[in-house]
Amino acid sequence: MLPDQFKRGASQNAIMAVDWENRVDFDRLRKYRFQRVQDQLKTSDMGAVLLFDMNNIRYTTAAHIGNWARDKYFRCALIMRDREPIMWDIGSAAKQHQRHNPWISPDNWRPVVSSWRGSIMEEVGVEKANAKRIAGVLRDAGLIHEPLGIDVVEIPVLRALEAEGISIVNAEGLMQRARVIKSIDEVSLLETAACLVDAAYDELFRVLRPGVKESEAVAVVNHVLYNMGSENVEAVNAISGERCAPHPHVFSDRYMRPGDMAYFDIIHSYMGYRTCYYRTINVGGATGKQRDVYKKTRDILDEAIAEIKVGASSADIAKKFPAAQEFGMANEEEAFGLQYVHGIGVGLWEQPLISRYHSIEHPITIEEGMVFAIETYWPSKDGSTAARIEEEIHVTKDGPRLLTKFPAQDLLVAGQQYWNGHSFAKGVNEIQLPGGETI
């Protein structure tokens, strides 16, 4: 069921702006996000936050120059109470922002040079010069003696800011609290991002057959997503056969074979908004053991989803996940990341994060407007295979709403399906294997 604000006319899964239908309003989106950060600043003891994380920069300034900059830390945004952001970026990008990003004053898009992860030696003084610039802005704003929040920072930058007399505190919590409740426009973009993955899975289902490598499956997904408008395919997990248990979290050059169970995770962003979207698909056939493994994985997921409602406790959701020892892990640290919930938005890791590791003792309340991915996993007792499923959930006042649409209630079988003409009585699509097992 669609939330009321969507019923009033905010169209989803359409990527063009048109004059005849209300769709994503990017100006409204930018204002909403910036106000969320301002509201958090006003209730904190921080005078400002200095953001180096690309996701936080995008959230507060709507400045985007591509994923290539993610690990270089030359970009930063200074957000002060009741003032426009100041964004320092690589010189050519700053000029581009001045020309095409009118929601922030041209003078507030500024060029900067960093050490590029230490490629420019510290004795050159880049960090000290940048710290003086930032201190000067804070001094002019009357904020030099108030704590400055930072999300992530290089050690030389931290030391240079402290040498300017600035008290540094952690801003990650503040930014997580700002990002946790999604607006109508954010939900629309998250759903569109998932829509692209629906199509990628549909094409992957057509392609999967014996002889296809895991790496080829990754290439197929990348091709579909970029053709449809993805701005960044961050990762595609493709895990098959005996590699399914334990989960290796990386694809290989393994060839798929008849009867293989395979699971995939597709992580990409559309207009800055992410997906984390697992599906399990068999190749050519499925054994009773594989079907049982899949059913267990799905049952855990459905039982946890049933606990999601506005006002519910995260502890109740976490209790629906099996304990680590139930599926062959020594403890919850070893099992972490296999049965859990994580928020998604401009970042892949947002609040709420729910797991047996911490949520039973440290519960939070589920709120309307949260969007998160819930993922489950179950291996066979002999460790020969495993299944993994994930759904993305939008929390509404009427309950959980699925953003992920590719079928996952039942185990799907892709490729040529192998029939035994002498044993149809055993059931559709079942053949006898050595040892008596059927597929």
Does residue 434 lie within any of the structural domains?
A: no
Split into its structural domains, the chain has a count of: 2
Are residues 173 and 206 located together in one domain of the fold? no
Backbone angles phi, psi at 217, to 5 degrees: -60, -40
Among 158, 179, 200, which residue terminates a domain? Answer: 179
Among 179, 198, 224, which residue terminates a domain? Answer: 179
Find out whether 270 and 226 touch, Cβ atoms under 8 Å.
no
Are residues 201 and 342 located together in one domain of the fold? yes
Per-residue pLDDT tens over the stretch 226-262: 999 999 999 999 999 999 999 999 999 999 999 999 9
Does residue 307 lie within any of the structural domains?
A: yes
* SS percent in the chain: helix, strand, coil, step 5: 35, 20, 45
Are residues 258 and 121 located together in one domain of the fold? no
Are residues 132 and 245 located together in one domain of the fold? no
Residue-level length of the chain: 439
For residue 121 the two structure tokens come to 């030696």
- Residues of the chain with confidence (pLDDT) below 70: 1-12, 419-439
Are residues 222 and 111 located together in one domain of the fold? no
Give residue 9's pLDDT. 46
Using DSSP's 3-state secondary structure scheme, residue 255 falls into strand
Phi-psi region of 290 (alpha: psi -120 to 50; beta: other; left: phi over 0): alpha
Q: Give me the CATH number covering residue 379.
A: 3.90.230.10
For residue 63 the two structure tokens come to 């400045």
DSSP 313: B
Does residue 167 lie within any of the structural domains?
A: yes
Among 132, 161, 179, which residue terminates a domain? Answer: 179
Are residues 130 and 246 located together in one domain of the fold? no
Does residue 394 lie within any of the structural domains?
A: yes
Are residues 253 and 372 located together in one domain of the fold? yes
Give residue 410's pLDDT. 96
Does residue 438 lie within any of the structural domains?
A: no
Does residue 433 lie within any of the structural domains?
A: no
Are residues 117 and 195 located together in one domain of the fold? no
Are residues 298 and 212 located together in one domain of the fold? yes
Are residues 90 and 200 located together in one domain of the fold? no
Does residue 431 lie within any of the structural domains?
A: no
Does residue 360 lie within any of the structural domains?
A: yes
Q: Give me the CATH number covering residue 112.
A: 3.40.350.10
Are residues 224 and 366 located together in one domain of the fold? yes
DSSP 384: S
Contacts of 336 (CB under 8 A, 6+ apart): 355, 357
Could you tell me the residue range of the domain that residue 247 belongs to? 184-426
Contacts of 269 (CB under 8 A, 6+ apart): 193, 230, 231, 232, 234, 275, 346
Are residues 143 and 285 located together in one domain of the fold? no
